[in-house]
Structure 1
Amino acid sequence: MCLSIPLRPAGRHCPVPSGIAGVILSTILAITLLTPAVHAICPPDYNGQWGAFGMPPTGGPYGITVDAFGAVYTSDTGRDLLGVHTPDGTLITEWGGHGTADGQFDGLITASVLDGFIYTIDNDRVQKFTDRGVWLLSFGTTGSGWGQLNDPRGIAVASDGTILVADSGNDRIQSFSTTGVFQGSWPVNQPYDIDISATGDAYVLGHDGVVYRYTRWGGLLASWTGGSFGAMSMPKGLDVDAGGNVYVA
């Protein structure tokens, strides 16, 4: 299935930031995958001004994800804060702050949520929190060895707790256990984002505009580009809904 979605509310110009993850705060749309709704959002042009629908001012949002209850998690790279919002944009809480200590962020990129736990990526590491922001664990160091990371851009968590990280700088997807133990990897040229479908397949967005579909363990099932109708230029974000439809920013 292929579809095209308008990227700005009528009569409103929305500048597009350079980086995004998930579907899709920084590219004008936030798509609630639990319901057939597409909410138009104009992100701030880093001056804190929002359109008719949106979250409180941020310093430079990069990623967005939605949990099973509709709570919206925004990765505010500019302030290194993870914000939690109601579906209508009301800020519930935020945590983090700039730094390299446990629970802080140094270049927060994005997050993934499963069963009340939040997994984030920043500064070549993964951190795990409760939904109240309590830090639980972290893993990953800078490098190219197994379990090391270099400019990770996306993260997804499977129903069994397996963590997949788009390790862009190392041209690979890495798999970790729920406690951060390295399980394996497979090559992908500069993966920008990743999501896991309801059937357990991993969908990866490459920097070249190719979408790859893999088994959870790296077996290639399919790949495609946007084609003439859905042609893509510098895509940055990918998400898969419960019906298996793929959304690309």
Structure 2
Amino acid sequence: MIKFAKWLSYSAAAILVLLAALAWTGGAINWNQELPYELTRHWGEKGSGPGQLNDPTGIAVTNTEVFVSDARNGRIQVFGHEGQFKREFGTAGDGSGELGRPMNLTIHDEKLYVPEYMNDRIQVFSLAGESLEIIGGPGAGPGQFDAPGGVAVADNGDLFVADFYNHRVQHLRADGSFVKQWGTTGKTGKGAGEFTYPTDAALAENGTLYVADGYGNRVQAFDAGGDFLRKWGGPFAMGIYGPFKGWLTTATSIAIGPEGNIFVADFYNDRIQKFTGEGSFLTAFGTPAKGPGQSEMAVDVEADGTVWTANFADNSVEKWQPAKN
């Protein structure tokens, strides 16, 4: 009995050490961690005028312009890289060209894809702001949405949509026709290929699909054929949230850098986390929220590696670049 008690105490100690290691590393040890990024530009304030923002929830960049989802104002605002206001389009509403709380933005083939949280659809615009197409509508059936949060677009125009309240990711053709889905409609889950309020999706050059599993507090990855590859975020990526390296507390946006690294907006931790494509933690950076609410809501990455974020609490746009040694 004494030997068993000693064995039990040693086992408990070993488990605590393992959990501490997982807490520190997020479950993926990587000795080649990077320096944090530096904030090099910042603009914006709360309001409804040109250049002002009210709850920015999405961001997408070209080599000359920055597109921002100005959610509460029901519009998209476009800025130059130095912060100068250039134009806006959309007004609050549910008609063509109108927007109901635009979320994470995606630019593909000179078109802007805008998921609308309130209108349960994806609206496609030209980069000049002309409404081109509306995909989907409210519901839980194939090709329907309940508060879509983000969309990835393949080279052939196929869509991969994070369908928030339906707890699934849908694969659709460019015309909106249904192909398949991951996750069980209307049901949360912690297993591989299950979701808890997914918020965004991104496609790597090799076809790997990365999903920000929002309140699942993790990232899930699927290969080009749709098979599950891996998941990460907290111990065993089981939905446990926390502030440690590699852990997530509501993943609200995801983007892929030019070297295939994964950038995730870790909303309630006020930071962006950078991972390898295999899920190893590289670095974290962000702006602590100054008042009510959280800061880093959305993220996109330029071809040169510059990172852009939408600061939700501060109603601003931020530009980040790798720190110099």
Q: How does 1:140-159 map to 2 (within 5 A)?
A: 140-159=136-155
AA aligned to 2:255 is D
Write the distance in 2 (CA, Å) between the matches of 1:110 and 1:225: 21
| RMSD, aligned α-carbons | 2.4
Which residue matches 1:33?
A: none
CA displacement at 1:124 relative to structure 2: 0.5
- Structure 2 CA distance for aligned equivalents of residues 226 and 42 of structure 1: 33
Give the structure with the larger helix fraction. Answer: 2
- Kept after mapping to 2: 8 A contact 1:198/1:242: no
Q: Does 1:191 align with 2:190?
A: no
Deviations 1:82-131 (CA, angstroms, capped at 9, x unpaired): 11221112222110101111111012113210121111111110111111
Match of 1:128 among 104, 112, 124: 124
Secondary structure in structure 2 of the residue aligned to 1:170: coil
Flag structure 2 segments of 5+ consecutive residues without an equivalent. Answer: 1-29, 184-193, 236-243, 266-325
Could you tell me whether the CA contact under 8 Å between 1:197 and 1:241 is conserved in 2? no
1:98 pairs, out of 92, 97, 102, with 92
Instruction: Please identify runs of 4+ aligned residues in structure 1 that moved more than 4 A.
Output: 1-4
Tell me if structure 2 keeps the 8 A contact 1:4–1:230: no
Shift of 1:240: 1.1
- Change in 2 beyond 3 A, CA 1:70/1:213: farther
Aligned to 2:156: 160
- The question of 1:214 aligning with 2:216 is answered no
Equivalent pair of 1:209/1:232 in contact (CA under 8 Å): yes
- Name which structure has the greater RCO, CA cutoff 8 Å, separation 6+: 2
1:165 is paired with a residue whose SS is strand
Shift of the 159–4 alpha-carbon distance from structure 1 to 2, 3 Å rule, reads farther
Paired AA for residue 178 in structure 2: F
Distance 1:159 1:106 in 2: 27
Correspondence for 1:82: 76
Normalising by structure 1, report the TM-score: 0.77
Tell me the amino acid that sits aligned with residue 199 of structure 1.
N
Q: Secondary structure at the match of 1:180?
A: coil
Deviates more, 1:151-160 or 1:98-107: 151-160
Question: Is 1:224 aligned with 2:224?
Answer: no
For 2:227 and 2:57, how far apart are their aligned partners in 1? Answer: 29
- TM-score, normalised to structure 2, is 0.60
Matched ranges for 1:1-249 at <5 A: 5=36, 39-41=40-42, 44=45, 46=46, 56-67=51-62, 69-122=63-116, 123-187=119-183, 188-189=194-195, 190-206=197-213, 207-225=215-233, 228-249=244-265
CA drift of 1:39 comes to: 4.1
Matched residue, 2:304: none
| Count of aligned pairs | 212
Tell me how far 1:178 sits from its aligned partner: 1.9
> Deviation per CA, 1:223-247, whole angstroms, max 9, x where unpaired?
1115642322223221111211111
Are 2:145 and 2:163, in contact at CA under 8 Å, matched by a contact in 1? yes
Amino acid at match of 2:163: D
Question: Matched residues, percent identical?
Answer: 27
Q: 2:288: which partner in 1?
A: none
Shift of 1:170: 0.8
**Residues 39/153 of structure 1: CA separation in 2 closer, same or farther (3 Å cut):** farther
State how far apart, in whole Å, the 2-side matches of 1:99 and 1:219 are: 38
* Structure with the greater alpha carbon radius of gyration: 2
Task: Give the direction of change, closer, same or farther, for the CA distance of 1:4–1:203 in structure 2 (3 Å limit).
Answer: farther
**8 Å Cα contact 2:122-2:135 kept in structure 1:** yes
Quick one: structure 1 residues 199 and 39, their matched pair in 2 at CA, closer, same or farther if it must change by over 3 Å? farther
